[in-house]
Structure 1
């Protein structure tokens, strides 16, 4: 295998600005840790999650339609957005 890689490296020049694939965690090291991978997306509250999302007035929001109890989630999120003062959301 090493010989094949060496042969390709000699035959084909790497285009400027590109680097060979170095593995799944090379550019996203948090993926190496199962705990860190999952915990980095968890927020303390819905308000915190909304703030971290970067949502602004006039933006479009969407919901997955197949969640069990999805209507309840939509209503809860929309009420929170209204309390936070968001307007003109579609």
Structure 2
């Protein structure tokens, strides 16, 4: 899974309104990104990291470090199910 794929996963989990309020990226741009009409940029990655601080490391690297509170949506889901 690429950083773009990870970003799109988080965008899919979030409210576009919340994303718009979390940074400088406006609502129409988030809609375009979500629909695949625009690419995720560095600014959007930073906003996602702000909105989901527990996923920052995973978002950037694809790795988790649960010992320091850095997980992924999949890890969190597995822990809730187990």
- TM-score grouping bracket, smaller chain normalisation: under 0.3
TM-score by length of 2: 0.23
* Rg larger in structure: 1
TM-score by length of 1: 0.22
Q: Which structure has more helix as a fraction of its residues?
A: 2
